[in-house]
Amino acid sequence: MSGAIVKRTPFFKILIANRGEIALRIMRSARRLGYGVVAVYSDADRDALHVREADQAVRIGEALPAQSYLKIDAIIAAAKASGAGAVHPGYGFLAENEDLAQACRDAGLVFIGPSPEAIRAMGNKAGAKEIMQKAGVPCVPGYQGADQSDTVMLAEAKKIGFPVMIKAVAGGGGRGMRLVADAAAFPDALRSARSEAQGAFGDPTVILERAIVDPRHIEIQVFGDRHGNAIHLGERDCSVQRRHQKLIEEAPSPAVTPELRARMGAVAVQAVKAIGYEGAGTLEFLLDRAGNFYFMEMNTRLQVEHPVTEAITGLDLVELQLRVARGEPLGLRQEDVTFSGHAIEVRLCSEDAGHDFMPQSGTMARWQMPVGIRVEHALQSGSEIPPFYDSMIAKVISHGATRGEARGRLICALEQVTAFGVTTNQGFLIDCLRHPVFAKGEATTAFIGNNCDVLLTPQPDRGSDLALAALLLYVTNPHAPPWQRGRSLSATFPLGLRIDLGHGMQEIEIVRERDGSYVATRNGDRFSFAIDELDQDSIRFHHDGLMEQARFLRDDNRLHILHRGVTLSAHDLTLAPPESAAAAGGDGKVRAALNGRVVAVLVKAGDKVAAGQPVMTLEAMKMEHVHTAGVAGTVSAIDVAEGEQVTTGKIVVEIEAAA
């Protein structure tokens, strides 16, 4: 199934058909092996770090992926223009696209990945399931027929029995995937999954599967070469997910015994040998509580979470990819693969976990990663995070002798992450790692859903947080008396501040005392601070008998603070007018909640709508986000069209409120 043996042309320069952290990751191994590296970029990535770090870079189109990173002809032309002899697709975009692999073959370029035939066979979820079923591998019951009509799909879903899972046959990463509880919700979920799959992968085809309740998501890393060798590198547990996208991955899995690992590994190796697979691949399984495992799909590429496998095996998976691609044998037997310790990776994403994981874009004003731990990223202070691509902006990976040690190191590292200017899921990841269920190694794919009351419920503003924000707003105000060590000549008058930490405006007073200390008062509660050191971006102070420190960034009326591992964003509303009805959402105008592209207008002028009714769907960072009516009434205007790119705050639908 791997196709005819193709003579490998030696290559000395590699074009990386991707962006961001994975492009930099590939560059690192490629350069260590003596290869030149070429980057590609869209208009949105012209100044991106992966472009600056490459030996050469080629523009391939406009910002949207369909106009740049998904353009096969542009990728091939860029390789030819730069003199690259090989193409590495990374992950996402065209990484599992057989047409790119075939185009490389036709152009005399080495595709660093499996053959077009293998990608076609295993990259398509429906086809892969058929192959596995013939091989006797247990698969989740479902429907993967050619008839994709709405009527047939609904009938097949009813045969399978709800709840069912809708999955795009192409790609991965949770795009084009929907869990459907009943027949009534099926039509809307099917439309949404198809739309998302078309936008992300260019193919709206989907399959149906029975939803297995509360499973573990276990994947087996495999490698094959053109000489018929194949091995597995153990498993990864990827059960902690939101919207079917992985957030935390670890190796080995707390739920997999050595015996189960041997069985799953043997199945995976047998599968890749059967199709003559070359390069890196991953077989993904669902593991139920009884220890039964079911094949889901095969990813015919490098995985986002490959660093945890590298950490426990000591192998460089990108190096193995490059060696296999140039025709070398793996040089490893199964008995040569050993595992050491435990590794955990988290995906730091530009998203607001407290608001339905809404993706965030904008300028990362300050970016500082922890030292002494592996971090994969492609940002620096001042970097722009565009709204067109995946929301993952960094991966933080820890390795320890035990799982507990790895978890502790990762928590400490995340507490040191400085990401000011764009909201991230930093605090949410820390909460997940600290949660007793995860700490015990008992998390399933239902972990976030089952614990959302603890993980996702917004916490009220603490008085101490407000007090610290008031202190920093006061001492960083250019018109305030400058801070100096020691006693003050005189006390200052109390200054009233209005501050929003994300949960509404709060009032607090602050004053500097004669002894040089500062007192913040809120609702009769007093918080006293003595400053020991104050720099441009950090403060060291005494509070409640403890010496503490915090990092901060003042940006006009915005103040970003990292304190005790928590990032706060304070908005100084002291001089701002009272909140208007428009800002509160009561003016009948639906505004875009994020930068994105209109993929569905769900109402038309003249329609009667109820408060909370969906009226429009925007797509950002490869995910769809439904916008709803803020008031009941009649739609008076539609201000955008399908396919249009809109910015945060733009009015998209206008509603005349009912009398």
pLDDT tens per residue, range 305-319: 999 999 999 999 999
Place of tokens 């992450």: 417
> What whole-number distance in Å separates Cα of residue 392 and Cα of residue 242?
13
pLDDT of residue 137: 80
The one-letter amino acid code at 31 reads: R
pLDDT of residue 171: 64
pTM of the predicted model as reported, rounded to 2 decimal places: 0.85
* Sign of the CA dihedral running 620, 621, 624, 630: negative
> What whole-number distance in Å separates Cα of residue 593 and Cα of residue 603?
18
Query: According to DSSP H, which parts of 590-657 are helical?
Result: none
138-141's contacts with Cβ under 8 Å and 24+ in sequence apart are: 138/292, 138/293, 138/294, 138/295, 139/294, 139/295, 140/209, 140/210, 140/212, 140/286, 140/294, 140/295, 140/296, 141/209, 141/210
Q: Which listed residue (301, 407, 512, 597) is catalytic?
A: 301
β-strand 623-628 against 614-620: which pairing, if any? antiparallel
Let me know if 301 is a catalytic residue: yes
pLDDT of residue 489: 52
CA–CA distances in Å: residue 497 to residues 462, 520, 526, 579: 16, 10, 15, 16
Question: Residues in the chain with pLDDT < 70?
Answer: 1-8, 171-173, 485-491, 578-586, 622
> What whole-number distance in Å separates Cα of residue 534 and Cα of residue 315?
45
